[in-house]
Amino acid sequence: MHLQIRGDSMKIYENFISYRRSATEGALLAQNIYNDLIKEGYDTFCDVRSLNSGQYGNEIFEIIVRCTNFLIVLTPNTFDGDVDESDWMYMEYSQAIRNKKNIIPIFINKEEVLLKLPDNFQDLKLYNGIEFNVDYSDVFLRILCDRFLLKDNNDLYYENGDGRDFIIDRNRLVKYVGKAKHVRISEGIEIIGEFAFKDLTEIEKISLPSTIIEIQESAFERCRNLSFIEIPDTTVAIGKKAFSRCFNLSYVRLGEDTKSIEDNAFSFCDKLKRIEITSHIERIDCNAFNNCSKLQEILVSNENIFYSSMDGVLYDKEKSIVIRCPEGIRSNIIQLPSTIIEIGQWAFSRCRGVYDIVIPQGVKIIEGYAFKECINISCLTLPDTIEKFDISAIDGWSFEQRILFDNRFNQAMKYKIEESLKSKKVIAENEFEEKFMLIKTTFESKNEAVEMANMLLEKKLITSGQISKLHSIYRWNSKIDSEDEYELSCITESRLYYQIEEFIKENHSYELCQILCVPVLRTSVEFADWISNNITCDDRKGI
């Protein structure tokens, strides 16, 4: 593809390859990548292959300005010797950063390279890179072409004036590459792409244009300092995990034309207290607001023909299905309408402020996880009209919680429910050598750590939890990363470890959460008695 620009004779390259000539292994890899990309039909610049004789400094910088992808080849020898601002590779890299190119690090022995990065190359850790393996060179090329390279230079441009903070492909915002705390997206953008703002934890405010139609999967996931968002009226769809783990998000205004809110779209939004469902919404995933521990009410426009609400609880329009009770609701008794036929998936999950639910005659279906972790419901009565009861509906219940049945309740179903309650896992005391232990886990937000400690205390799985702030440095997805976290240390009996582990994993916002078990070798008799006296003792109750 040979593209010209504004009558200028200078060729536009799709890819620019930067490498250290003195690093023999890297220079050879750069030339091999150049040859492979040329064969694939990509216009690619590599200095020894693409330049004629003469002065080439300004020409190289102009080529970087006009290219689409900046590939930087990194080996353990790339940064041998002094690397200052006059270093040629550093000047190429700086030019790519200033012009917000799609930067693609290509590594040989990535771990060693990252350990040797000079201060002025530390930003390379922010970019998703790819590691070369000589035994899988064909696979490497396919991944590079299919997943990393932005391909159409005609349709690629940058926005936000001379700041050039966005990578945009046609009308789709692919990636935000700026560093501002307050971000304004220009008019004309119709799609916020997958992961476009994910993990950009410094952003506090985002202004969306009136042209947005779709917010895709994980677009703003883990923008943990984002405090409010106003969805434009034109936005039709809010994708899976679009605002998940936005821990400080306290206000959301949905667009008038919004039609769908997908799986976990607002999960783990710790400060969200109220959601107003607009008139055009047709589909709300049952777990769209899971783990929103402060959410107290879901309100629905009277003009909506698909949904309704009563006392803050979300129902279908006819009030035949309970869709979602907000987790932060506080109510001694929830009286369900007599029209209810089905209690849907996750309907009352984690509603720890609910103490009783009156289920009317006529209910036929109770779906999975419907009452999961409703730890303060002491007794639940099931009517004899129930035809389906998913056993996972009472996941997280303790042996102390009871279910009563009407006289004509299906006996086979009753037996399965009672056996499920009896079979709650109890760990034998001799499984661990020491009687007591500390269980440690970490969280991104203090609110989540406090919430987890409260839940474990209420379930009587631990006697206390200490929370401390720490700074973690870790490896994730082949990248060294670091961030502030909050550590929760729980005191408990060793026999409860697996119950606690299961509970933490099910309720943690991390994809992979740290869970460490530290045996307690010695403690005073008085303190040991205090631990045991404040913990649920399933096995001592004969269950």
Q: What is the pLDDT of residues 132-173, one digit of tens each?
A: 988 777 888 888 887 788 765 444 444 443 346 888 888 999
Which pLDDT value is given to residue 151? 63
pLDDT at 449 over 60: yes
For residues 124 and 285, the model is more confident at: 285
| Cα–Cα distance, 422 to 412 (Å, whole number) | 16
| Cα–Cα distance, 215 to 304 (Å, whole number) | 22
Which of 250-259, 282-291, 473-482 is the least confident region? 473-482
Which pLDDT value is given to residue 49? 65
CA-based nearest residue to 321, from 261, 363, 263: 363
| Cα–Cα distance, 222 to 246 (Å, whole number) | 5
pLDDT at 439 over 70: yes
- Rounded average pLDDT over 86-111: 89
Sign of CA dihedral 193, 236, 248, 322: negative
Which pLDDT value is given to residue 447? 84
For residues 131 and 48, the model is more confident at: 131
Which pLDDT value is given to residue 502? 85
Which pLDDT value is given to residue 156? 45
**Which is it for strands 214-215 and 402-405: parallel, antiparallel or unpaired?**
unpaired
pLDDT at 292 over 90: yes
Which pLDDT value is given to residue 163? 42
Which pLDDT value is given to residue 6? 31
- What CATH number was assigned to the domain covering residues 429-541? 3.30.70.120
CB 299 within 8 A of CB 322: no
Q: What is the pLDDT of residues 518-539, one digit of tens each?
A: 999 999 999 999 998 988 654 4
For residues 468 and 23, the model is more confident at: 468
Domain boundaries, the chain: 3-148, 156-294, 296-424, 429-541
- Rounded average pLDDT over 216-235: 93
Which pLDDT value is given to residue 8? 38
pLDDT at 54 over 80: no
| Cα–Cα distance, 285 to 282 (Å, whole number) | 10
pLDDT at 22 over 70: yes
Which pLDDT value is given to residue 539? 41
For residues 55 and 116, the model is more confident at: 116
| Cα–Cα distance, 432 to 493 (Å, whole number) | 10
Residues 6+ apart with CB under 8 A from 283: 259, 260, 261, 306
For residues 236 and 50, the model is more confident at: 236
Largest CA distance in the chain: 96
Share of the chain above pLDDT 90, in %: 54
Which pLDDT value is given to residue 422? 79
CA-based nearest residue to 72, from 116, 120, 15, 119: 15
pLDDT at 457 over 80: yes
Q: What is the pLDDT of residues 359-408, one digit of tens each?
A: 999 999 999 999 999 989 999 999 999 999 999 999 988 777 899 999 89
Which pLDDT value is given to residue 437? 93
In this prediction, residue 57 has a pLDDT band, given cuts at 50, 70 and 90, of low
Q: How much of the chain is in helix, strand and coil states, percent to nearest 5?
A: 25, 25, 50
In this prediction, residue 126 has a pLDDT band, given cuts at 50, 70 and 90, of confident
Q: Which residue has the tokens 């209420």?
A: 458
- The DSSP line for 378-391 is -EEEEPTT--EE-G
Which pLDDT value is given to residue 347? 98
| Cα–Cα distance, 237 to 263 (Å, whole number) | 12
Which pLDDT value is given to residue 1? 29
In this prediction, residue 431 has a pLDDT band, given cuts at 50, 70 and 90, of low
- What CATH number was assigned to the domain covering residues 3-148? 3.40.50.10140
In this prediction, residue 318 has a pLDDT band, given cuts at 50, 70 and 90, of very high
In total, the chain counts a number of residues equal to 543
pLDDT at 53 over 60: no
Question: Which fold, 296-424?
Answer: 3.80.10
Which pLDDT value is given to residue 50? 60
Hey, what amino acid is at 438? L
- The DSSP line for 389-446 is E-GGGGTT--TT-EEEE-TTS-HHHHHHHHHHHHT-----GGGSSSSEEEEEEEESSH
Residues 6+ apart with CB under 8 A from 132: 29, 106, 107, 108, 140
Which residues is 230 bridged to in the sheet? 253
Indicate if 296-424 has the same CATH topology as 156-294: yes
Taking only Cα atoms into account, the Rg of the chain, rounded to an integer number of angstroms, comes to: 28
Helix runs in 441-537, H state only: 446-458, 497-507, 525-533
| Cα–Cα distance, 199 to 221 (Å, whole number) | 6
Which pLDDT value is given to residue 542? 32
| Cα–Cα distance, 164 to 160 (Å, whole number) | 5
Which pLDDT value is given to residue 40? 83
| Cα–Cα distance, 76 to 531 (Å, whole number) | 52
Which pLDDT value is given to residue 82? 76
Which pLDDT value is given to residue 154? 44
- Rounded average pLDDT over 86-92: 88
Q: Mean pLDDT of all residues in the chain?
A: 87
Which pLDDT value is given to residue 301? 96
- Please identify, in words, the CATH class of the domain defined by 156-294: alpha beta
